[in-house]
Every structure is written in C-alpha cells, then in structure tokens.
A and B are shown apart, each in its own frame.
Chain A
C-alpha cells in the first residue's frame, strides 16, 4: 500500500502525525499538498524539523499532486499524504481519484463559523460541504486523531 494514510490536518506535519501515526505506519516520506506551503521554502524548513532519520518530506501544489498521484500510489515507498484543508483533499479527489481510499480527518480546529463536532474537529458549512463532496467522489471519510482512537464515521460528523 504505497500511500498508507491520507489525512486532513490543519497542522500538517506535527507531533501527532510523525510520532503517533508515524510509529504505527512507518512511512518513508510525507507528501504535503498545499499551495501556500509549496511556494514557501521557509515554511517548508519549519515542517522538516524533527523528522526521523531516513524520512523525507515533499511539498507539492494541488495541481502537481493531481498529476503525481498515480505515480505516488504505485511507488514502493510508504507515504503519508497530508492536506491542511478539507477543500484541498476534496479537490485532489475530484473525478474519483480517491475512490475507495480511506481519508482520515485528524484536525480541523475552531475558526469563524465552525462548530465543535469532536474535540479535534470543528466544522462549518464550508467544511461540511467539502467532506460530503469528498465522500460522494468515492473517498471513505472518517475522523480519528491518533491510531489508538476509534474511527468516527462521516455520518456522525455531519449529522451527529
């Protein structure tokens, strides 16, 4: 399984991902799909701090990620793919690119009109629509912050 985790997390590459999920999945690389970070070398340096030896991070725009995704999914290396926003994952999965793929919602925090659904997931109308569309395009969306936690279904996220 070349891409061992698809995750939406506002913090992108952080302790929960590298230490929690990283210990469980032992990825070789992190694929960060985010237009802003892909264009900001200084930000990339921040994210690369603390990566385990032998583990790399790559930063790609959404357009580049859509073009590279078939290659990533065939690659022998074990990758974790991260987006900051549900809208980015939705756009990545448009046209069925993520059909049948589990997508983990790991951290969407309070801002603006978002309301708490789980302690680590706050959703507003925009995020709800993005997650619904992502699932309609074939992705299997659940929420789970760390591997030891129970996965929460999209239905429960959207409808309680």
Chain B
C-alpha cells in the first residue's frame, strides 16, 4: 500500500437512496464513515447541498457517486469538481460499484474511477446461462 492519502467517497442522491446504499456497503464490508458517507438532497437548496457535499469531501482526494446526472445532485457535484482537481464525479451509482470502491481506496484516484466505471457497468446484467450453454442446447442433433 502506498503512503498516498486514501480516497474518500461521498454518495449523493435523491430521497433515501444514498443512505441506503452506504448502509448496505457498511453492512457488507464493515467500513467506517471515513471511507464513505451519504447525503440526500431532500429539503436542500442548491447552495446548501453544495456546502454539505464539500464538507463531506474533506481536503484530500475524493470521489462523488451521484444517482442522476441530471438534477440538483449532479449539478452540485459537477460544480464542486470543476474547482477541485482531486475530485471526480460518477453518475448512476450502484452497490457493486461502492463495494469495489471501499476495498480499493488506496489506489490512485484515476485508477479508482476506471475501476468504478467498469464494476458499475458490468454489475448490470440479465439472469441467463452463459453463451456456451445456450449454444450447446440449441445445437442440431440435441
């Protein structure tokens, strides 16, 4: 593990989504509030939301996970990231992505972002047998 500061995660979402995701991530992995925290936009104006995200981010490298790209959460996160070079923003947060994040916070921020994108996308899939199984079953003569 390098001596670089661990990347902090902040999940920002509508309603109780962020709290639910972070609660699940903590339950599964046992990570603490320093690793990842949750914020809801409920009842907050744009400035209040921005201030709370900034407070949660702290001073080191950080990754903001947002539910929707469009809307107040995404807007606030993008405004912050524009002024903080060590802060990245991802949209469409999901639990597998968060689980990977909390166990790889020691990696460089750019690498974490790429991992999170890949994990988040690959976690969305349909329940079906591997391609090979389908091919075998439909093969002539079976």
Contact A49 B43 (CB under 8 A): no
Would you give the shortest CB distance from B15 to chain A, in whole angstroms? 11
Which of B23-31, B65-73, B104-112 binds A?
B65-73
CA distance A18 to B68 in the complex (A): 12
CA distance A47 to B74 in the complex (A): 10
Let me know if B44 is at the binding interface, CB within 8 A.
yes
Known: A119-B43, A120-B43. A110 touches B48 (CB 8 A): yes
**Chain A 1-37 interface mask (CB, 8 Å, partner B; 1/0):** 0000000001101111010000000000000000000
Contact pick for B70, options A10, A14, A111, CB 8 Å: A14
Known: A15-B14, A110-B43. A50 touches B48 (CB 8 A): no
Interface residues of A in 116-131 (CB under 8 A from B): 119-120
CA distance A11 to B68 in the complex (A): 14
Contacts of B14 in A (CB 8 A): 15
Let me know if A109 is at the binding interface, CB within 8 A.
yes
Let me know if B75 is at the binding interface, CB within 8 A.
yes
Q: Which residue of B lies closest to A122 (CB)?
A: B45
Number of A-B residue pairs with CB-CB distance less than 8 Å in the complex they form? 51
Contact B46 A50 (CB under 8 A): no
Q: Which residue of A lies closest to B44 (CB)?
A: A109
Would you give the shortest CB distance from B79 to chain A, in whole angstroms? 8
Interface residues of A in 85-107 (CB under 8 A from B): 107
Let me know if A46 is at the binding interface, CB within 8 A.
yes
Contact pick for A14, options B71, B79, B82, CB 8 Å: B71
A interface residue numbers (CB < 8 A to B): 10-11, 13-16, 18, 42, 46-47, 49-51, 107-111, 119-120
Having A109-B46, A120-B43, one finds 16 other A-B pairs with CB under 8 Å, namely A11-B72, A14-B70, A14-B71, A15-B68, A15-B70, A15-B71, A15-B72, A46-B79, A47-B75, A49-B74, A50-B69, A50-B71, A107-B45, A109-B44, A110-B44, A110-B48
